[in-house]
């Protein structure tokens, strides 16, 4: 099962992904956490030391081959078993999580991050219903990755759209809804984050009504999240019973329950 999380920068996407990964792993699921941000920080919210991430391997390009399409374009395809590739480059995390850093930007003026996105797309395509476990994909912030040729997220089983109750976040979320529909992603759900009051919640519910998507989780504004980040500690370890952490943990099980439904969300 492949679940991607997207949203505007600063919405708390990586924090939610890390907490979900830990909760799913504690519930007995085999979890691969795939960090697609070119400045990878998912390790911090999972509980993997950041210094180990700096030396970690990224997706190896020699594990892929370039395949020409009938349309004249080309895509990458894995030439090795996907589980073998993910295990080879993964960092072991708490509760048995396998953290995979897709790529990183290490030097200035070296071109775009296109090759990494092509590799991620190939990995997601290679993961089938027969592949055991749950893959959580922490996308880079914003919407640019939706414009990649052939779509980085084309093969995910579900997309969680993380939304704050603020104008810029809602504008970005509307674009995510539109672009993800063009990719044919049918199962798309909204997660509200940093909700302070009923007015905040009302704004996000209106967005859901306009977009025709289901709101499956409400995460309150949680001071424990930035405090854990400052302390370089995973929120689930620093404040396991804080309301925001509990909501993020609950989302992990909720999304699996929703995906058991045979009928996808509206496109």
Residue pLDDT tens, the chain, 267 long:
999 999 998 899 999 999 999 999 999 999 999 999 888 889 999 999 888 888 889 999 899 999 988 877 788 999 999 999 999 999 999 999 999 999 876 656 555 668 888 899 999 999 998 888 999 999 988 787 777 656 788 899 999 999 999 999 999 999 999 999 999 999 999 999 999 999 999 999 999 999 999 999 999 999 999 999 999 999 999 999 999 999 999 999 999 998 877 554 443
Tokens 């509760």 sit at which residue?
95
CB contact at 8 A, 63 and 85: yes
Beta bridge partner(s), residue 68: 74
**What tokens does 118 get?**
């092509």
Structure letter (DSSP) for residue 10: T
Please tell me the pTM assigned to this model. Answer: 0.91
- The sign one gets for the Cα dihedral 95, 101, 106, 108 is negative
Cα angle, residue 124 at apex, residues 121 and 130 outer, rounded to 5°: 160
Residue 231: per-residue pLDDT: 93
Residue 25: per-residue pLDDT: 97
Spatial separation of the C-alpha atoms in residues 100 and 89, rounded to whole Å: 6
**What tokens does 36 get?**
């697609």
Domain 2-259 has CATH 3.40.50.300: yes
């Amino acid at each position: 099962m492949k679940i991607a999380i997207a949203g505007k920068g600063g919405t708390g996407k990586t924090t939610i992904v890390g907490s979900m990964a830990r909760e799913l792993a504690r519930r007995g699921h085999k979890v691969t956490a795939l960090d697609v941000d070119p400045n990878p920080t998912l390790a911090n919210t999972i509980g993997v030391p950041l210094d180990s991430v700096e030396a970690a391997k990224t997706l190896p390009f020699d594990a892929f081959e370039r395949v020409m399409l009938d349309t004249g374009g080309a895509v990458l395809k894995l030439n090795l078993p996907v589980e073998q590739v993910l295990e080879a480059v993964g960092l072991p995390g708490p509760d048995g999580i396998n953290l995979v850093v897709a790529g990183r930007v290490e030097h200035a003026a070296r071109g775009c991050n296109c090759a990494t996105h092509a590799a991620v797309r190939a990995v997601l395509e290679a993961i089938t219903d027969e592949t055991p476990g749950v893959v959580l994909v922490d996308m880079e912030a914003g919407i640019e990755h939706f414009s990649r040729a052939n779509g980085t997220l084309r093969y995910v089983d579900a997309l969680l759209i993380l939304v704050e109750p603020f104008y810029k976040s809602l504008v970005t979320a509307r674009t995510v809804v539109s672009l993800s529909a063009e990719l044919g992603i049918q199962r798309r759900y909204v997660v509200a984050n940093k909700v302070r009051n009923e007015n905040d919640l009302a704004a996000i519910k209106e967005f859901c009504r306009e977009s025709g998507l289901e709101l499956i989780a409400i995460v309150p504004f949680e001071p424990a999240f930035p405090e854990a980040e400052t302390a370089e500690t995973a929120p689930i370890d620093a404040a396991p019973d804080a309301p925001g952490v509990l909501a993020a943990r609950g989302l992990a099980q909720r999304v699996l329950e929703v995906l058991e439904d045979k009928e996808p969300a509206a496109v």
